[in-house]
Amino acid sequence: EVQLVQSGAEVKKPGDSLKISCKGFGYSFASSWIGWVRQMPGKGLEWMGIIYPGNSETRYSPSFQGQVTISADKSISTAYLQWSSLKASDTAMYYCARRQDISTYYFAYWGQGTLVTVSS
């Protein structure tokens, strides 16, 4: 069974750095694209970017390029989303999700979400 397990909720202050994680189980982690999706409170889903853990090829939405860093460590089947300096506007639920296969452009499997709260 494919599972994506995300790290727990975080409460941070503006200017803090943060790295959240997403560990994959039940499939070949290196061979499947993993993406990140933001959902701000009461708002819709936003595609942030996607990474292929096998070679770390990464693609970012223009809206998030330079704002976050997506990475992966295939040796421990884990993908990451990190910020160097958080802002209050980064407060959101963040989901990781696995692309179904290279012939399709959707997320078939989702993590449970990580709630990030940034407040002074």
Partner 1 sequence: SYELTQPPSVSVSPGQTARITCSGDSLPNQYGYWYQQKPGQAPVVVIYKDRERPSGIPERFSGSSSGTTVTLTISGVLAEDEADYYCQSADTTGIYWAFGGGTKLTVL
Residues near partner 1 (CB under 8 A) are 35, 37, 44-47, 50, 59, 61-63, 95, 100, 104-108, 110-113
Whether 80 and 90 have beta carbons less than 8 Å apart is answered as no
Nearest distance from C-beta of residue 98 to partner 1, angstroms: 11
Whole-number Cα distances in Å, 53 to 11, 35, 61, 82, 93: 28, 11, 18, 16, 23
The residue count for the chain: 120
Residue with token string 């990580």: 114
Nearest distance from C-beta of residue 89 to partner 1, angstroms: 18
Q: Which amino acid is at 92?
A: A
Structure tokens at 57: 């090829």
Which residue lies nearer to partner 1 by CB, 16 or 39?
A: 39
Nearest distance from C-beta of residue 120 to partner 1, angstroms: 27
Which residue lies nearer to partner 1 by CB, 66 or 106?
A: 106
Nearest distance from C-beta of residue 39 to partner 1, angstroms: 9
Which residue lies nearer to partner 1 by CB, 82 or 112?
A: 112
Which residue lies nearer to partner 1 by CB, 19 or 59?
A: 59
Eight-class DSSP state of 56: T
